[in-house]
Amino acid sequence: MKVYKVMMSLRMSLTVPLLFLIFISGVGAQYGWGVTYRPESICALKGSTVIMGCTYSYPEGHIVKTAFWTKSLPPAKGIEPPDLLNDTEYRDRVQYLRDKHNDCRLSLRDVRENDQSKYYFRFITDKEGGKYTGTDGVNLSVTGKLHQQK
């Protein structure tokens, strides 16, 4: 009976930290789906170029078919938010930069005041229901001039 109690105690002592690690990494909460934005907030000078960065993850066995940046969260099932590359306000000023797998950086040139918004990354995989948008997004604020600290 003592051996059983020791084994159960050992099993529980290993299980709890493992579950905690899975939970804090976000894997357990989203079953492998995720987008992490870095930085989460950018203040840009009008006319400058900014790079919004993120990395993303998805469950094993999926293949990403489409990946894009948008200023909208998906409003309803079956309606996709617009891709910035297809928006006439952005078409000639945005570029998707990818130097490795799961890298989802966006370069926005000639920043304008009306670009001030929240930007989201969305990807769609080959599996049914395999769509995900990082809901935190990148908050872009735009200023007309640099402010000197006193």
104-137: per-residue pLDDT in tens? 999 999 999 999 999 999 999 999 999 999 999 9
Q: Does residue 50 share a domain with residue 2? A: no
3-state secondary structure of 47: coil
Q: Does residue 83 share a domain with residue 21? A: no
Cα 43 to Cα 138: distance, rounded to the nearest angstrom: 11
Answer yes or no: is 94 within a domain: yes
pLDDT for 2 beyond 80: no
Strongest mean pLDDT among 16-20, 90-94, 95-99: 90-94
Q: Does residue 39 share a domain with residue 26? A: no
Q: Does residue 74 share a domain with residue 57? A: yes
Q: Does residue 37 share a domain with residue 18? A: no
Answer yes or no: is 1 within a domain: yes
Domain span at residue 41?
Answer: 32-143
Quote the pLDDT of residue 77. Answer: 77
Quote the pLDDT of residue 29. Answer: 39
For the chain, what is the domain count?
Answer: 2
Q: Does residue 98 share a domain with residue 60? A: yes
Q: Does residue 110 share a domain with residue 39? A: yes
- Please state, in angstroms and as integers, the Cα–Cα distance from residue 147 to each residue in 7, 42, 43, 99, 139, following that order: 64, 15, 12, 34, 19
pLDDT for 8 beyond 60: no
Cβ atoms of residues 53 and 42 within 8 Å? no
Residue 3: pLDDT band with limits 50, 70, 90: very low
Q: Does residue 25 share a domain with residue 46? A: no
Answer yes or no: is 41 within a domain: yes
Q: Does residue 121 share a domain with residue 49? A: yes
Quote the pLDDT of residue 96. Answer: 96
Quote the pLDDT of residue 30. Answer: 54
Q: Does residue 36 share a domain with residue 16? A: no
Strongest mean pLDDT among 8-12, 23-27, 42-46, 74-78: 42-46
46 or 91: which leads in pLDDT: 46
Answer yes or no: is 149 within a domain: no
Answer yes or no: is 150 within a domain: no
Q: Does residue 117 share a domain with residue 84? A: yes
Residues 129, 131, 134, 140: what is their CA dihedral angle, to the nearest 10 degrees?
-140
Q: Does residue 38 share a domain with residue 3? A: no
Residue 21: pLDDT band with limits 50, 70, 90: very low
121: CATH: 2.60.40.10
Give the angle 46-142-105 at the CA atoms, nearest 5°: 90
